[in-house]
Amino acid sequence: MAQDLRVFTKDDVKPDTFKDTTIAVIGYGSQGRSHALNLRDSGVDVIIGARRGGPSEQKAEADGFRVLSPADAAKEANFIALTAPDMAHAEIFKNDVAPNLQAGDALMFAHGFSVIYGQVTPPKDVDVFLVAPKGPGDLVRREFERGRGVPCLFAIHQDASGHATDKALSYADSIGGTAAAVFETSFKAETETDLFGEQAVLCGGATELVVMGFETLVEAGYPEELAYYECLHELKLIVDLLNEGGLAKMHEFISETAIYGDLRSGPRVINEETRERMRAVLKDIQSGTFARDWILENQAGKPAYNALLAADLDHPIEEVGRKLRGRMSWLKPGANNAPEN
């Protein structure tokens, strides 16, 4: 059985680790923006690396950051946080980061994909690690502003300076992670579990379950609106309960009829055959097959990806959902009666 991960807290953070440190955040999307804002609010010197004239440059400048080209940011900083999308890492690293790395610099990722699957091969004389908050960027920012934090994972790939762990923990602390918990893992474990969770449960598994449930009810003659409410809309209610208190809280707040149906019929839908299919997905990830296929798909211009995405968004559940969500005032931007997550 796997051992429990050690919990790191603020007591484990070495003071003044970022004294005389400039962090270049390259990639100003959801995670990059939240990291940069939180780092700055924690007193860290932050600059942004972004393509000139692009939307990231404009957004970062509007947020009050000094924005340089990715290459100039990498040259000026001694700590580079590469928060751009995975498939952009190879080009950014080759053209902008690698030529400007100095011995003893730190190179940080928010996900281990590009290192594990050979898209980035850092020189041996720099620290290489990841810090991965377990939540989307807007939540990382929102919780930080409330004086709280989102749990983070960190992993060390190379410790050239002897201080890589101190740097990783200070980064996690500066974006709010130690207000919750910080766990140490490995690049391999973070990458493979993250990919598996997305594919088998959180995104692929959950959406396919929702769509198939919707289709089953509609094929049986029930109105699409009822199918949408029962198989998609109410899913949030259950996920919120699970997120807040696990299976126990869900069972506490649903009816005994729902509990009985859960216990009796859940294993009829998600069963040993499903588990075997999940194992096949995991094997695909562990063997590198998924990464190879995704890298090649990007190199080809993403034709299969675009076709699959278009088909997914063309499903009837999307049209029904748009109509029904139009009547849900709490979902509209700026609604002051939006329910707390």
Across 278-299, average pLDDT: 97
For 322, the token pair is: 């748009």
Task: State residue 5's pLDDT score.
Answer: 85
Cα separations (Å) of 237 from 191, 217, 229, 243, 261? 29, 20, 11, 10, 17
For residue 272, the one-letter residue type is E
Strand partners, 131: 154
Residues 6 or more apart in contact with residue 233 via CB below 8 angstroms: 324
Q: What is the pLDDT of residues 274-286, one digit of tens each?
A: 999 999 999 999 9
Instruction: Let me know: does 322 contact 329? Beta carbons within 8 Å.
Output: no
Residues 6 or more apart in contact with residue 151 via CB below 8 angstroms: 133, 134, 135, 177, 180, 181, 182, 183
Across 127-154, average pLDDT: 96
Domain boundaries, the chain: 8-186, 202-270+302-331
The Cβ of residue 67 has, within 10 Å, a number of other Cβ atoms equal to 21
For 156, the token pair is: 């060390």
- Please, which pLDDT band fits residue 337 given cuts at 50, 70 and 90? very low
Task: State residue 2's pLDDT score.
Answer: 63
56 assigned ligand-binding residue: yes
329 assigned ligand-binding residue: no
Task: State residue 341's pLDDT score.
Answer: 39
Cα gap 13→35, rounded to integer Å: 17
Q: Is the pLDDT of residue 340 over 50?
A: no
112 assigned ligand-binding residue: no
Q: What is the pLDDT of residues 12-25, one digit of tens each?
A: 999 999 999 999 99
Cα gap 318→212, rounded to integer Å: 13
Q: Is the pLDDT of residue 3 over 80?
A: no
Task: State residue 332's pLDDT score.
Answer: 81
Q: Which of 92, 125, 99 is CA-nearest to residue 109?
A: 92
Across 198-217, average pLDDT: 96
CATH class held by domain 8-186: alpha beta
pTM of the model: 0.91
Strand partners, 24: 47, 80
40 assigned ligand-binding residue: no
The mean predicted confidence, pLDDT, of the chain is: 94
Cα gap 173→80, rounded to integer Å: 17
Task: State residue 331's pLDDT score.
Answer: 85
Among all chains, which residue has been given the structure tokens 């194992």? 279
Q: Is the pLDDT of residue 336 over 60?
A: no
Q: In what order do the strands lie in the sheet with 45-49?
A: 7-8, 182-184, 152-158, 127-133, 106-109, 79-82, 22-26, 45-49, 67-68
Cα gap 14→35, rounded to integer Å: 19
Across 43-67, average pLDDT: 95
Task: State residue 1's pLDDT score.
Answer: 58
Q: Is the pLDDT of residue 333 over 90?
A: no
Q: What is the pLDDT of residues 72-85, one digit of tens each?
A: 999 999 999 999 99
Distance of CA 324 to the CA centre of its chain: 28
- Please, which pLDDT band fits residue 335 given cuts at 50, 70 and 90? low
- Please, which pLDDT band fits residue 315 given cuts at 50, 70 and 90? very high
Cα gap 299→304, rounded to integer Å: 12
Cα gap 262→51, rounded to integer Å: 50
Q: Is the pLDDT of residue 339 over 60?
A: no
Cα gap 49→108, rounded to integer Å: 14
Q: Which one is catalytic: 111, 157, 163, 251?
A: 111
118 assigned ligand-binding residue: no
How many residues can be counted in the chain? 341
Q: Any catalytic annotation for residue 163?
A: no
Instruction: Let me know: does 187 contact 122? Beta carbons within 8 Å.
Output: no
For 4, the token pair is: 């429990």
Q: Is the pLDDT of residue 31 over 80?
A: yes
340 assigned ligand-binding residue: no
Cα gap 233→231, rounded to integer Å: 6
31 assigned ligand-binding residue: yes
Instruction: Let me know: does 253 contact 234? Beta carbons within 8 Å.
Output: no
Is 120 in a helix, a strand, or coil?
Answer: coil
Instruction: Let me know: does 154 contact 182? Beta carbons within 8 Å.
Output: yes
Cα gap 207→248, rounded to integer Å: 24
Farthest CA pair distance, the chain: 67
For residue 14, the one-letter residue type is K
Task: Report H helices in 63-121.
Answer: 70-76, 89-92, 113-116
30 assigned ligand-binding residue: yes
